[in-house]
Structure 1
Amino acid sequence: ELSTQTEIWLEFGIQSIYDETLRRINRGHDSENVKEAIRKAKAYGLNVCGHLIFGLPGETKDMMLETAKEAYALGIDSVKYHPLYVVKRTALANEYARGEFEPITQDLYLEVLKEALLAKPPHVSVQRISAGIDDETLIAPQWCREKNGQFRAINEALKEVGLKY
């Protein structure tokens, strides 16, 4: 009812469409839960933004791109892309310390981002193209520390395919 009076956006942390990944990162839900929530929101005429994390443990480039394509197919209106980074005092930090997880490289993130953007339907807007943290809690990857450097690298990579952020 409220959506008929004002613009409403719901944001969903899709992150991955792979249940094994969602279990590994302790999301507390499976991919079908997110799909159903998005379908319900769209049925009510609400705007939906989906968050996608590239570089989740165990995921390949193809898996990351398939997540993006499925998110678009769900009818999201907007997207936020994030690289996964490791911060102190987390289960992921413990995996990283044991050598069980290697963070996404900037080169791979840029490669996946370019392809995801090229696959994105024109009506889906982009609200965020990266994420990072610049404090003592960041463990890895260090390229996520400096936002300006990230944006320079992103713009250079996007130029290669005729895009600009």
Structure 2
Amino acid sequence: MDKHEKLIDLISEFDHAMLVTRSASGTLGSRPMAVAQMEDDGDLWFVTDRNSGKVADLMLDDDVAVTMQGSNKFVSLSGKAHAVDDQAKIDELWNEAWKVWFPEGKSSPSLVLLRVEPTRGEYWDNSGASGLKYLVKAGKAYLQGERPEKDASINASVSM
């Protein structure tokens, strides 16, 4: 599995992410988001309120970061995001649990999709056999007063 495939595979394991945007004042803001869908190329879809601060942020600066974390797996993406008004896509993605935020359902006028198109991604996967292999390397390096070598199977940067 190449680095790009590994990154896509890791992204697909996450149901939630932190979406980071830049406000008009230049500050960064992050908020948890449920992942509505991940496409095969790594594009992510989220559902939000069109009157939210994140949508206002995106109108000024569409550069975003998306981070995901599990017990021993981490992903960081950077790219572009934009609001999408597409009722057919909303119908396709609709999850009844979202009625908590959109009581009118999928036809709610405040509901809008966010599409994040990553241009770059990084991952750290310290799970399974590769994680154990890294722990052995790290322990050995610690005992020798050195830093462990970077292992491409555990950590990689990928252009999307």
Same fold (TM over 0.5): no
- Bucket of the pairwise TM-score, normalised by the shorter protein: under 0.3
Bigger radius of gyration among the two: 2
Structure with larger RCO (C-alpha < 8 A, sep 6+): 2
Q: Give TM-score, length-normalised by structure 1.
A: 0.27
Query: Which of the two has greater helix per residue?
Result: 1
Q: Give TM-score, length-normalised by structure 2.
A: 0.27
